[in-house]
Each structure stands twice: as structure tokens, then as C-alpha cells.
Amino acid sequence: MRPLPAPAVPLPRRRAVLGAAAGVFPLLPVSRAAAAAAPARRAPLPTDATVAREVREEFLHAWEGYRQAAWGYDEVRPLSGGRHDFFADGQSFGLSAVEALDTLYLMEQDAEVARVADWIEAHLDPAADAEVHVFEAVIRLVGGLLAGYLCTGRSGLLDRCRELTDRLLPAFTASPTGIPYTRVNLRTGAVAGTAPPLAEIGSNVLEFGLLSRLTGDNRYYAAAKRAYRAVLDRRSALDLLGTTLHTETGQWLDTTSCAPNPPVDSFYEYLWAGGELLGDRELTDWYRLLTDAVLRHQLVRQDGATWFQQVGATDGAVLGQAQSELAAFYAGLLGKGGDLATARAYHRSWSAVLECHPVLPEELDFGTGALTSVRDDLRPEYANAAFDLWRLTGDAEYKESAYRYFQGLRGNLRVPGGYTVAQDVTTSPITLGDLTPGYFFAENLKYVYLIFAATPRFDYANGLLSTEGKVLRGAVRRR
């Protein structure tokens, strides 16, 4: 059956471009000094087992909404009961099911794991006549198939993963510079899109490197490393990077250094994670080189809060004070990279914002405190950082952060058909949209669940998750 056409409304991407929203909204009533202070004492949390059960129940509530209204389609519209094709109109890849696969496994929903894997092996078409966004296909579909294979050992998932990646590869191999094109037709191999931002250039080395390791075919890893080298060769004398490059000329199209904001965020994340997962010292060295430059030129501490400004990559001139919720992940990355003090401070800055709103807004100007987008697109980055920092420190502060985040979602974005995005977090009640992004099944509740569940299906000491929350190392297969 052909999916129903989607209403013409804005839809969130995993790493949406900062500043897309128009207008400036009322000032945040944030006490900036509170951002650096230790968290206030709260009522004791429920037991870990109680929280894990609550989180699993809410995930299954959202999952049932998808199954009932949109099974086999990319995404569900939980208010209207509609469906949404994420990659291409009229072509679905079962995106939410692929995104959910390893989360279902971690939550011990084995019948649903089998249902999803069976559907993928029977219906997911890596050769569909559809032009897809390469970045999204890599982190969502390739990553989801890899994680599903690691959890289940089902070779059909790895076969689909390899065929899909082969059909994405022309975006890299057809490039004269190594900088990938942004889109590719899976059936014809035709490429398009010559202005990728950094996140789209570099957020593939985990998936491609792991696939090369599993298959013995180095083409995937070589393509990812070539793309990274093309960017590093074009860094400024300050060791800063711009935002966007031209695929064919290699010229910078935007020389703003906006890390850790989108659309560059996961470029840096994959340098650290690639070095960790693949044992590639060159990636680790690049992470440290570029991160040192970001901290030197972009870190701002004001009124007790910690933020990151935007600067010119060539001269370090200050260009902006925007901060996206998608950047909240950076607290966890900095901690994993060894700068725990800055990591803690940055996470507390976002915690102070959450104190002022029931759920986190998409964007703010940290200089004025004004919200520049009042949406909440069910973003997972704050919970991601809480999970990373809890694993590093074991501190109760991060359990409290994660549970407060979970309570905000459950209290404000839960609907009978699952969970949905918000159009305005400043209204009371919150003004809701009508979409469960596929990444919700991969990330938000997975991070909170892992903090509280102590599941034997995850290796807490060595586990490693992708930017899309996919378990690429540390899944423990059931016996």
C-alpha cells in the first residue's frame, strides 16, 4: 500500500540547521549563576527498578502507537493517526522500526525484536528508486541495521546493511575531493547536493568502519577517512573549521565555526568515538586538535554559565551567541574526551534552562537569554549527555537530570497515540504538533532506561553508542 501523503508542515531532522525558526520569544527567567551551582536538593528518586519499569512502559506506549497506526512506514503522526515518509514521498523504509530495533532488544522485548527483524528481511528495499539524504540514511538505517545485527546475530540484517551501504557509497566515491554529495538515488547511483555541512561529511566513520570490520571490505572505512582528511586539510591557521564545504571544489561556503551547534555537531563526536571504537589514533588526535581550538576560541563563561559562541574560523571574530538543544550532547563528549570540568558546567547550563520550562526549547540566545525557537522536537541530546556523564562519574546528579527530563516528556508530550513534538513550550498547556520522529525510538528513552535498568544486555564498561543512539559496541546477546 502506498503511504498516505504527509501534511505540509515543518518536520524535524536529527541534526536540523540552527536558526531555522523565525522570531524571538520572551526572555528566559534563568538565574545564570544557578547554571554553575550544584543542583538543588530534590525529593528522593524512585528506586532504579521503578524508574526502569516506568521508562519501559512509556517506550512501549509509543511503540504501540507506531505499530497500530504506521507499521512498516517511516514515522507516525500520533494525534491524527497518520503516517509520514521521511526520506522520499511515496517510499517508506520502516524507519521507526529500524530505529527501535536495538532499544527493543535492550528492553527485553524479544517478540517485537523478531517482528522487526522479520519485516526488515522481507520488506526493506535497499535498491528503492528513491533519492535519499545520505547522512540520515547512514546514522539511522545503516546504524540501525548494524546494531540490530550485533544484538541478534541475524545475518539477514547485515546483508541488508551491506547492500544499502553499497548503494550509498557513490556519494563518496563520485566526489573529486572526498567530500560526499548530500543525496543519492539508491537504484541509479545518481548523486546530487554539493553543499554538505560538517556533520554530513564526517558522521559515517563509525558505521562505515564497523561495517568494514565485520565484512573485511575496507572500501567503507576508506571512504569515511578520505572525507575526514578532506576537511582537516582545510582547517584554518587557528585549527578551526567552517560550517559548509563544496563537494566538487573543496571551497568553504560558510566559514563560521559554530561547534558544538548543528550542523557541525556530530562531526566532532565521531572523531572521538571513531578513535575509541576503531582504535584509530589519527581520529583521536584530530579530535583533540580541533576540540582544543573550540575551547580556546569559543568557550564562554558568563554569569556562572558555560556556553559556546560562534566565531570566524579564520580570525576568531565573534559572530553569534546562539545555542541549540542539539548541542547539549557536547557535555557528554567533552567528558569522554577528558575535560570533565567543562562537561559538568555545560550540562548544568542546560539544566538551568530546563528548570525554567517543562521541556527544553529548541534554541536560545545565551547572551540575552531569549528563546529563538520555542519548539521541542523531542530532542534527546540532554538525556544523552546525562547518560554519558553518569557512566563516567556515577554521580546522582545525572540520574536526577535524566529523570527530570523523562518526567517532562511524560507530563507534557505524551498523547494517546504515543509521544509527539511540541510547537510551543512556553504556552500552558504546551502547544503540540503531530509527529513522533523516528529517532525517538532510538534515543530518548533508551538513555534514561540504561541509566536505571542495569540491564545484562548492555556492557556498561565498554559499550559505545552512535550519534543516533545505536549500540555499536557492548550489546550482550541473550543465551
Bond preceding residue 46 cis, omega within 30 of 0? no
CA dihedral of residues 344, 347, 352, 355 (deg, nearest 10):
-120
Mean pLDDT for the chain?
Answer: 93
DSSP 209-267: HHHHHHHS-THHHHHHHHHHHHHHTT--TTS---SEE-TTT--EEE-EE-TTSTTTHHH
For residues 305 and 316, give the distance between their C-alpha atoms in angstroms, rounded to a whole number: 21
Question: What does the pLDDT average to over 419-432?
Answer: 98
Predicted confidence at residue 327, as pLDDT, reads 98
- Determine the Cα–Cα distance for residues 478 and 107; give it in Å rounded to an integer: 12
The phi, psi pair for 30, rounded to 5°, reads -90, 130
pLDDT at 189 over 50: yes
Compute the average pLDDT of residues 433-456.
98
| Within a domain: 4 | no
Would you state the pLDDT for residue 22? Answer: 39
Q: What total of structural domains would you count in the chain?
A: 1
Looking at the predicted structure, is the pLDDT value of residue 19 above 70?
A: no
- At 145 the three-state DSSP class reads helix
Q: Which residue has the higher pLDDT, 18 or 413?
A: 413
Give the per-residue pLDDT at 239. 98
What's the rounded mean pLDDT across residues 396-413? 98
User: Residue 367 belongs to what domain range?
Assistant: 32-473
Q: Does the pLDDT value for residue 281 go beyond 70?
A: yes
Burial class (CB in 10 A: 0-12, 13-18, 19+), 213: middle
Residue range 290-314: average pLDDT?
A: 97
pLDDT at 40: 55
Residue 478's pLDDT band (cuts 50, 70, 90): confident
pLDDT of residue 41: 57
Q: What is the CATH number of the domain that holds 89?
A: 1.50.10.10
- With a cut of 70, say whether residue 457 has pLDDT above it: yes
Residue 367 forms part of a structural domain: yes
| The predicted structure's pLDDT at residue 43 | 79
Contact 371, 26 (CB under 8 A): yes
> What tens digit of pLDDT does each residue of 352-381 get?
999 999 999 999 999 999 999 999 999 999
Cell (9 digits) for 400 = 536526577
pLDDT in tens, 314-359: 999 999 999 999 999 999 999 999 999 999 999 999 999 999 999 9
pLDDT of residue 479: 76
Burial of 367-378, coded b for 16+ CB within 10 Å and e otherwise, reads: eebebbbbbbbb
The answer to whether residue 23 is domain-embedded is no
Residue 205 has pLDDT above 90, yes or no: yes
In this structure, is residue 270 part of a structural domain?
yes
- Give the CA distances from residue 272 to residues 16, 332, 472, in Å, rounded to whole numbers and listed in that order: 22, 11, 14
This prediction's pTM:
0.94
Is there a domain that residue 445 lies in?
Answer: yes
Per cent of the chain over pLDDT 70 is: 91
* Cβ count within 10 A of residue 322: 21
Supply the pLDDT for residue 439. 98
Residue with cell 541530546: 381
| Calpha distance 246→216 (Å, rounded) | 31
Is 437 inside any structural domain? yes
Name the residue among 356, 382, 361, 381 with its Cα closest to residue 372: 361
For residue 22, tell me if it sits in a domain: no
Q: Which residue has the cell 515518509?
A: 85
Kindly tell me the burial class for residue 187, based on how many C-beta atoms sit within 10 Å of its own C-beta (0-12, 13-18, 19 or more): middle
Q: What is the pLDDT of residue 451?
A: 98
| 83 within a domain of the structure (yes/no) | yes
Q: What is the pLDDT, as a whole number, of residue 6?
A: 35
**The predicted structure's pLDDT at residue 326:** 98
Between 346 and 13, the more confident residue is: 346
User: CA 29, CA 51: separation in Å to the nearest integer?
Assistant: 30
Q: How far is the C-alpha of 146 from the C-alpha of 248, rounded, in Å?
A: 30
- pLDDT digit string, tens, across residues 221-244: 999 999 999 999 999 999 999 999
